[in-house]
Amino acid sequence: MPFESPLADVHRDYGADFTLFAGWNMPLKFTSALKETLAVRNSAGVFDVSHMGRLIVEGRDAARFLNTVTTNQVDVEVGRSRYTLTLNYEGGIKDDDMAFRIGDEKYVVVVNAASREKILAWFEEVAAKRGMDVEIKDETFDTAMLAIQGPQARQAVHEILGGELKIRKFRNTMVTVEGRQTLVSRTGYTGEDGYEIIFWDLRTAERFLRTLIEKGVAPCGLGARDILRLEAGLPLYGQDMDEDTTPVEADLMFAVDLSKDFIGKDSVASRAQEGPKEKRVGLKSSSRRAPRHGDLLLVNGEPVGRVTSGTFSPTVGVGIAMGYVRSDLSAPGTKLVAKGIGEIPVEVVETPFYDVTKYGWRRKH
- Residues 190 and 147 reside in one and the same domain: yes
| Domain shared by 157 and 183, yes or no | yes
The answer to whether position 123 is within a domain reads yes
Query: Which residues contact residue 81 at a Cβ distance below 8 angstroms, ignoring those fewer than 6 apart?
Result: 98, 99, 100, 101, 170, 171, 172, 185, 186, 187
Distance CA 198, CA 186 (A): 12
In a domain, 258, yes or no: no
| In-domain check, residue 292 | yes
Q: pLDDT for 230-285, tens place per residue?
A: 999 999 999 999 999 999 999 999 999 999 999 999 999 999 999 999 999 999 99
Q: Looking at the structure, tell me whether residues 23 and 164 fall in a common domain.
A: yes
Residue 74 lies inside a defined structural domain of this protein: yes
Residue 250 lies in a domain: no
Of 140, 158, 190, which residue is a domain's last? 140
Whether residue 226 is contained in a domain is answered as yes
Cα distance between the two ends of the chain: 43
- The predicted pLDDT at position 188 comes to 87
pLDDT of 50 reads 98
- Average pLDDT (307-322) is 97
* Predicted confidence (pLDDT) per residue in 92-146, tens digit: 999 999 999 999 999 999 999 999 999 999 999 999 999 999 999 999 999 999 9
- Give the tens place of pLDDT for each residue, 129-143: 999 999 999 999 999
Dump pLDDT digits (tens) for 56-106. 999 999 999 999 999 999 999 999 999 999 999 999 999 999 999 999 999
Return phi, psi of residue 316, to 5°.
-85, -30
Q: Is the pLDDT of residue 363 over 60?
A: no
- 58 and 14 assigned to the same domain: no
Q: Give the 3-state secondary structure of the chain.
A: CCEECCCHHHHHHCCCEEEEECCEEEEEECCCHHHHHHHHHHCCEEEECCCCEEEEEECCCHHHHHHHHCCCCCCCCCCEEEEEEEECCCCCEEEEEEEEEEECCEEEEEECHHHHHHHHHHHHHHHHHCCCCCEEEECHHHCEEEEEECCCHHHHHHHHHCCCCCCCCCEEEEEEECCEEEEEECCCCCCCCEEEEEECCHHHHHHHHHHHHHCCCEEECHHHHHHHHHHCCCCCECCCECCCCCCCCCCCHHHCCCCCCCCCHHHHHHHHHHCCCEEEEEEEECCCCCCCCCCEEEECCEEEEEEEEEEECCCCCCEEEEEEEEHHHCCCCCEEEEECCCEEEEEEECCCCEEEECCEEEECC
For residues 114 and 237, the answer to whether their CB atoms sit within 8 Å is yes
Q: Tell me the whole-structure pTM to 2 decimals.
A: 0.96
Does one domain contain both 45 and 148? Answer: yes
Residues 205, 61 within the same domain: no
Instruction: Answer yes or no: do 31 and 67 share one domain.
Output: no
- Give the gyration radius of the chain's Cα atoms: 20
The pLDDT of residue 360 is above 50: no
Domain that holds residue 292: 277-363
* pLDDT level of residue 355 (50, 70, 90 thresholds): low
Q: How many domains does the chain have?
A: 3
357: confidence class by pLDDT, cuts 50, 70, 90 = low
Task: Write the CATH number for 184.
Answer: 3.30.1360.120
Let me know whether 32 and 59 are in one domain: no
- CATH code of the domain in which 91 resides: 3.30.70.1400
**Domain CATH number, residue 303:** 2.40.30.110
Confirm whether 308 is domain-assigned: yes
Going by C-alpha positions, the residue among 233, 61, 206, 236 that lies closest to residue 146 is 206
- What pLDDT sits at residue 354? 80
- Maximum Cα–Cα distance for the chain, whole Å? 64
Q: Is residue 244 part of a domain?
A: no
**Amino acid, res. 341:** I
Rounded distance between C-alpha atoms, residue 157 and residue 163, angstroms: 9
Distance from CA of residue 161 to its chain's centroid? Answer: 25
Residue 173 sits in the same domain as residue 217: yes
Which of 114, 140, 166 is the last residue in one of the domains? 140
Same domain, 41 and 103: no
From residue 138, how far is each of 28, 126, 233 by CA, in Å? 25, 16, 29
Show Cβ contacts of residue 214 under 8 Å, excluding neighbours closer than 6 positions: none
Residues 156 and 125 in one domain: no
Nearest to 40 by CA among 145, 184, 156: 156
pLDDT of residue 303: 98
Last residue of a domain, one of 200, 231, 262: 231
pLDDT-derived band at 182, boundaries 50, 70, 90: very high
117 with 173, same domain? no
Is the pLDDT at 356 greater than 70, yes or no?
no
